[in-house]
Amino acid sequence: MIYATLTSTTSVNVASGCSFSKTYTATAQADLDSLASCDAIKGDVYITGDLGTGSIANVKAIYGDLIISNATELASFAADSIAAISGELKLESLTILSELSMGSLNSVGAINWVTLPALIDTGLTQVTDCNSIYISDTQLSSLDGLNPINVETYNINNNLNLASIDSEIQTISQALSISHNGDETELVFDELQWANNLTFYSVSSISMSSLQSINESAGFFESSVEALKFPLVTKVGGDLTIENNEDLQELDFGNLTSIGGGLVIENNTELKSIENFDDLKSVTGAVVLVGEFDNCTMSDLKTVRGAFEVDTTGDFDCTDFNKLAKQGNIQGDFECKASTSSSSISGSKTSSSTSSEGSDSSSSTASSSSSKGDAANIAVNCAPIWGTFAAFVVALL
């Protein structure tokens, strides 16, 4: 169970009869009315059944979970006095719920909303304390009223009417994931300073002007973003992956000095130049650069501990990366293929060749092997003749 801090509500007393050792289950409004005499409830409250509408009156705090699940006839729910839920606010499989009203809710351990296909408004106004947020498969057009500052996880996915997310979150200790919402979802996280993991699918723009550190991995996939700008980020602790973003034209990681995993920039068809990686010094994993780019500058790069692959149909010169490989700064296999040149080096070896030189070398090796084979065959075929001649000489003696 995830608990909120509840700093503003810890003084709410739990009266006799308002503490439940087992989950309190409500299947009718009468069951919810029985809670109206409680200022606070200790224990979990579970709402299900055939309610058409539901409400909890007077209760200010729930020290436990509030779960509404599989109430398929529930069209509206209100609990406007509740300011804090120490555990989880879980709404799931409420197929006709279109109105939710929890205007006083400020502090909640976790929000978990899944399969609410009729819900168009959060019904929240002032949630600033929440450890975990997961919202999936709703009709929400905004996340108004949901404004936490520090979270562990923040996952928003498959909300097809969600056109924008503008958040004041400052830290994300586990993961931020935004995926497959509206086709043109715009993201603004300009207060975010650090995060552990970032994952984005199908977004149109990303603004994170204050982000300085990504402690683990970051991935940008299948989006219509035209630019990815992270000018203050100095390190990525894990992988950095930028893949299949058809409209992407510009990258800015100008202060990035180290990548703790691999670097993959692949199949971004409008990206003609991979620039603004000039401070990058080390990559712990592999580097994969695949696309149609003409230019790639990583002037300070000194160490790549994995393999290094460049494959572009653009007018690209492999010279700088060839030099890096020949100096032994690339510890894995190296290959650079472009429309104008190609080269490869296995491991830390210092030999390199263009494709035509490779063919000549192979032909020479094959010819040498063939000659050695012919000589061996002649020696074998002559052996019986010399044996017969020796026997004849012995007989004469």
Q: pLDDT tens for the chain, 397 residues: list them.
A: 444 455 444 468 999 899 999 999 999 999 999 999 999 999 999 999 999 999 999 999 999 999 999 999 999 999 999 999 999 999 999 999 999 999 999 999 999 999 999 999 999 999 999 999 999 999 999 999 999 999 999 999 999 999 999 999 999 999 999 999 987 899 999 999 999 999 999 999 999 999 999 999 999 999 999 999 999 999 999 999 999 999 999 999 999 999 999 999 999 999 999 999 999 999 999 999 999 999 999 999 999 999 999 999 999 999 999 999 999 999 999 999 998 767 777 764 433 333 333 334 333 333 333 333 443 343 334 334 334 434 433 333 3
Q: Other CB atoms closer than 10 Å to residue 52's CB: what's the count?
A: 11
Q: Is 363 helix (H, G, I), strand (E, B) or coil?
A: helix
Specify the DSSP class assigned to residue 255.
T
Whether 21 is in a domain gets the answer: yes
Whether 11 is in a domain gets the answer: yes
H helices present in 221-354, as ranges? 319-326
What is the reported pLDDT for 11? 64
Place of tokens 């999936």: 136
What is the reported pLDDT for 184? 84
Evaluate whether 26 touches 47 at the Cβ level (below 8 Å): yes
- Report residue 205 as tokens: 């723009």
Whether 221 is in a domain gets the answer: no
Evaluate whether 301 touches 327 at the Cβ level (below 8 Å): no
pTM: 0.84
| Domain ranges, residue 50 | 1-148
Specify the DSSP class assigned to residue 278.
T
Report residue 164 CA to chain centroid gap.
19
Q: Is 386 helix (H, G, I), strand (E, B) or coil?
A: helix
Q: Which residues pair with 188 in a beta bridge?
A: 166, 207
Q: What are phi and psi of 68, to 5 degrees?
A: -120, 115
Residue 93: name the closest of 126, 49, 141 by CA.
49
Whether 381 is in a domain gets the answer: no
Whole-angstrom distance, CA of residue 98 vs CA of residue 139? 9
Whether 51 is in a domain gets the answer: yes
For residue 169, the surrounding DSSP H or E stretch is none
Evaluate whether 44 touches 19 at the Cβ level (below 8 Å): no
Evaluate whether 190 touches 167 at the Cβ level (below 8 Å): no
Residue 61: name the closest of 94, 106, 101, 25 by CA.
106
Whole-angstrom distance, CA of residue 302 vs CA of residue 373? 45
Residue 262: name the closest of 298, 234, 299, 237 by CA.
237
Evaluate whether 344 touches 336 at the Cβ level (below 8 Å): yes
Evaluate whether 77 touches 99 at the Cβ level (below 8 Å): yes
Beta strands in 208-353 (DSSP E): 213-214, 218-221, 227-229, 235-236, 240-243, 250-252, 258-259, 263-266, 273-274, 282-283, 287-291, 295-296, 303-304, 308-312, 334-337, 342-345
Backbone angle region of 64, left / alpha / beta, with phi > 0 → left and psi within -120 to 50 → alpha: left
Whether 331 is in a domain gets the answer: no
Whole-angstrom distance, CA of residue 229 vs CA of residue 245? 14
Per the structure, the count of domains in the chain is 1
317's CB contacts (< 8 A; 6+ apart) are 338, 340, 341
From residue 357, alpha-carbon distances to 75, 344, 349 in Å are: 73, 11, 17
What is the reported pLDDT for 340? 77
Whole-angstrom distance, CA of residue 46 vs CA of residue 69? 8
Q: Is 390 helix (H, G, I), strand (E, B) or coil?
A: helix
From residue 373, alpha-carbon distances to 4, 320, 359, 360 in Å are: 79, 42, 21, 20
Whether 68 is in a domain gets the answer: yes
Whole-angstrom distance, CA of residue 156 vs CA of residue 17? 38
For residue 194, the surrounding DSSP H or E stretch is strand 194-201
Whether 336 is in a domain gets the answer: no
